[in-house]
Structure 1
């Protein structure tokens, strides 16, 4: 299928505030992915706006930017076999009510607006997001 890939995953402010970081990291490790990089930060406005620029014309954009800059996030790079697809499956549907049981969002999210986690949806998106959140590279 996809072979070895690296994807971008971000635990959003609600996940950090609720103390879910270790649980979520454990779930990614549990599906055989390896963390290549991690940054804990409160995203500056410019970073948040660039990350979510694709949604700029949508009515929820201002609330999304306010939320994602409201507190610390954990930005991570994960690598492994089919990392993008397997991460998306682990994360679950954007709307927590539609997420499969056992996914991160089904287990922890309680709002479509504050849904615990973000994951890249394809190789191009992953490359863009990894470059944005890890501008100095991942090292290894």
Structure 2
């Protein structure tokens, strides 16, 4: 079983869409094995998104991700990383496929509701960033 990290971003929390997003995620067959609500500091957001440090949007991304509460989730499913990327849609909601989380709920490329790991390797790193081994609970349902 593969795992991936999702983060319901501050815009998702502000718009009161946590439940709607999780419903879409679970309806797509993902099991939530860890979840918490937190608020990233600029330092923590910068550390998490360090891979993008040289990109022009890095500063804006760090500001946005530290602007309010977010909800990281560790998800489990066969082919979790690729399937979750499909479920959330393109980074720019205007380009996202109909029915995807970003198409349904996101307002812009910069505030696009949700983060999803982009590879199996990064999913392991990202899950470890937010959750300890003890926090990942096997979902036997």
TM bracket, shorter-chain basis:
over 0.9
Q: CA deviation at 1:139?
A: 3.5
**Correspondence for 1:88:** 85
**Please, which of 4, 9, 27 is the counterpart of residue 12 of structure 1?**
9
- Give the secondary-structure state (helix, strand or coil) at the position aligned to 1:98: coil
1:76, CA displacement in angstroms?
0.3
Q: How many residues align?
A: 137
Once structures 1 and 2 are overlaid, which stretch shifts more, 68-77 or 79-88? Answer: 79-88
Cα deviation for residue 127 of structure 1 reads: 0.5
1:107 to 89, 104, 107: 104
Q: Deviations over 1:24-77 (max 9, x none)?
A: 101111011110000101012232111111111112111110100000000000
Write the distance in 1 (CA, Å) between the matches of 2:75 and 2:133: 16
CA distance in 2, matches of 1:6, 1:18: 27
Backbone CA RMSD of aligned residues? 1.1
Q: Runs of 5+ in structure 2 lacking a partner?
A: none
Q: TM-score, normalised by structure 2?
A: 0.93
Paired position in structure 1 for 2:32: 35
Give the Cα–Cα distance (whole angstroms) in 2 for the partners of residues 139 and 111 of structure 1.
32
Gaps of 5+ in 1: none
TM-score w.r.t. the length of structure 1 is: 0.93
Q: Is residue 2:62 matched to residue 1:61?
A: no
Matched-pair contact (CA < 8 Å) for 1:131–1:137: no
Partner of residue 113 from structure 2, selected from 116, 135, 140: 116
Deviation for aligned residue 1:138: 2.9
